[in-house]
Chain A
C-alpha cells in the first residue's frame, strides 16, 4: 500500500526494476530536452482520440498532457448498477495519448482534494521506476509531472498502481488507459509498405467485480472505501460481474455506435489492463493486426479473432468493404452478450454483391 517503500512491490517487480538499471541508452541531457519544441495536447474521451499526425512532420518534441483523476460513482449497465469508479480524466478507460518514437511524453497528473485516495500512473511504454509509478504517487490535493522518452513503438497500457492490494482494486475500479507510440514514419504493413488509417477508435475493456447482497442484487456503496472489503472478495473469485467496453455495457452501441464508411480504413486500439480478451469483428476481419500491439513486429494478416493479453493493448487495422451494422465483441460470447463486452460499428456505403449475396431468401423447405 502506501509505504515509503512504495516502489518495492515484491521480488519479481523489483528484479525487473533492477534489470532496467545499467542498460542505459544514449541519454539526452536535461538541457537538450529543454531545447526541444513542446506541444500541448488536450485529451478527448474514448472511444475518440486527439488529433495527431500519423507520420511525424518534424524532429522529436516534448508532448505535454494533463490528466485529472476523478473518483465518482458511475453507472455500468442498463440496470443502473453503480461502480464507485476511479478514473483518469473522468472517463473509463482513461484517454489514449499519441506520440511518436523519440518524443518525450510529459504528463501532469492531478489528484484534486475532492478525491479520497492516493493514485499514481504506471506507463507500460516507459522505462524505470515501475513505469513511473514510483515517481507519481499523488495524495488528494497534490499533482506530479513525469516525463519519459518514448523509445518503443506500439500501443501500451497505463494504469494506476499505488502499491499492494490497492493496485488491482484501482485497476478494476476503472483506472487504466493506453498510450500509442507511432513510428516517426508511420505504420507499415507486413512487407514494410506504409499504411494509413482514416479513422481511429480506442476501445478500453474493463472487468468489474460488483458485490451482491443476500438477494443477489448488486450492492451500492456510498464511497469507494466502503466497497473495498466486499469487492476484494468478489475479485478473488476471478469471475467478473461485468466485462464492458468504454466503461459501461452498451456504451458503444445505438446512438454511440462507432461510425465508418465503406472503403475507409479504421485502426482499432484495444486495451485490457487486467484480463485476457479476444476481440472479433462480426462480419469483418483484422486486415493487419498487431496482437501484442508493438509496431516493430510485422502485423499478422487476415485474422478472424485476435488475442489481447491482460495488461496489454493491441491494434487492428481494417478497411470496411460492406455497409451495415457490425458487432465488435470479446468473442467469449458469454462475456460479449451476458456481461456487456459488445460494441457496434455503423458503416455506410454501397453493398458489394460479389463479396456476398443472398441467393435465396428463407422460405419453406422445398419438397423433393
Chain B
C-alpha cells in the first residue's frame, strides 16, 4: 500500500532527465540526501455524509447553529493512518526545512507543538522528498476519515435573538458536561486505537490542523444556503475531540486553545496524499515545484 519513491523514480526519472540534462539532475538527486519512507496510508472509498459546517454563522443578524450540509468525497481519499510522528517531523527539521517542534524526537509518538505554518512546511518538504503531493486534509475530509469519532463544534443549541446570553450559557454547560479532563502527555502510536475507517489515534489527545479557513457566514432563511461569508485564513480549523479554531502561528493548544475547560491538549497533524502525473512527480522529486 505504501508509496515507494525508489520504484516511482525508476519509472519516471528518464522523463525528467530529458528535461533537465543528466548532470544537474544527478546533482539535485544526491543533494536531496536519503530517501524518506512513505508513511502508511489508509484509502477511503468515496462517499457522502452530513457535515456540520465549520465557522460562525449568522441568520438575521444573530448567531445560529452551523448548517449541516450533505458533503461528498468524490475520489478515493488517501490519508495517513497515523499522525505525523516526532521522528518523521524531525527529519524535516534536520533538513533545515521545518522549525523544531516543542517535543521529543521519538518515532513512536506523534509530533506535537506544531503550528499550521509548521504543518504546511512539513507538507512541502515531504512532497519534495517523495514526489507526491502531500497536504493537510480539509475539514470535510478529516470529518469523513474520523467517522464515528467526529464531534464537530460544541453547540449550545439555543438561538434566541432577544437574549444572546442563552446561547453562551448553553454552550458553556454543554462543554462543562462533557467533563473532559486535560490530558497533555502525548501517547505512543495507536494508544487511542483505530477507528472504523482504519485511522489510528483520531480524537485522542492530539488535535489536528486542517486546511480549512475560519469563516464568518450569513445564511439564508432556509438555514442552509450561504448569503455571504468572509474567510479568515489567518485562522484554521483544528479537529480532534472537538472542533476549534486557531491562529496559524499557535503551537501550544493548551494555552492557544478553546476557552472553556477543554482546550486542545496538543496540536499535531496528519496529511493526505494526492497522486500526480508521472512527469510532475519526477520534477517534484528533483526539486522543482
Q: Which residues of A contact B (CB under 8 A)?
A: 1-10, 14, 17-18, 21, 116-118, 128-129, 134-135, 139-142, 163-166, 225-226, 228-229, 232
Contacts and interface: CB of A to CB of B under 8 A. Distances in A.
A165 B256 contact: yes
Contact of B234 (A165, A225, A226): A225
Contact of B165 (A6, A129, A164, A166): A129
Contacts of B165: 17, 21, 128-129
A7 B214 CA distance: 17
Nearest to A4: B153
B251 interface: yes
Give 9 nearest A-B pairs by CB, closest first.
A139-B232, A225-B249, A3-B258, A2-B245, A7-B168, A116-B234, A9-B259, A8-B172, A141-B230
Interface in B68-91: none
B22 interface: no
A165 B235 CA distance: 14
22 contacts: A1-B245, A1-B247, A2-B246, A2-B247, A4-B245, A5-B171, A5-B172, A5-B258, A8-B259, A10-B259, A17-B168, A118-B235, A129-B164, A134-B164, A139-B231, A142-B216, A164-B256, A164-B257, A164-B259, A225-B248, A225-B249, A228-B249
A14 B248 CA distance: 27
A7 B250 CA distance: 20
A232 B244 CA distance: 21
Interface residues of B, number: 33
Contacts of B251: 229
Interface string B1-23: 00000000000000000000000
B164 A1 contact: no
Interface string B122-142: 000000000000000000000
Contacts of B171: 4-5, 8
B255 interface: yes
Contacts of B220: none
A166 B168 contact: no
Nearest to A117: B234
B263 interface: yes
Contacts of B289: none
Nearest to B171: A5
A116 B250 CA distance: 14
A140 B171 CA distance: 26
Contacts of B155: 4
A14 B263 CA distance: 16
B241 to A, nearest CB: 13
A229 B251 CA distance: 8
Max chain A Cβ within 10 angstroms of own Cβ: one of B165, B168, B231: B168
Contact of A3 (B232, B244, B249): B244
B256 A1 contact: yes
A8 B234 CA distance: 22
Contacts of B260: 5, 8, 10
A10 B250 CA distance: 20
A5 B154 contact: yes
B164 A135 contact: yes
Contact of A139 (B153, B172, B230, B255): B230
B288 to A, nearest CB: 27
Interface in B215-255: 216, 230-232, 234-235, 244-251, 255
A139 B216 contact: yes
Contacts of B169: 18
A140 B230 CA distance: 8
Contacts of B159: none
B258 A1 contact: yes
B56 interface: yes
A87 B263 CA distance: 28
A84 B153 CA distance: 32
Contact of B250 (A4, A9, A228): A228
A56 to B, nearest CB: 30
A10 B257 CA distance: 12
A139 B247 contact: no
B154 A4 contact: yes
B107 interface: no
B105 interface: no
Interface in B244-282: 244-251, 255-260, 263
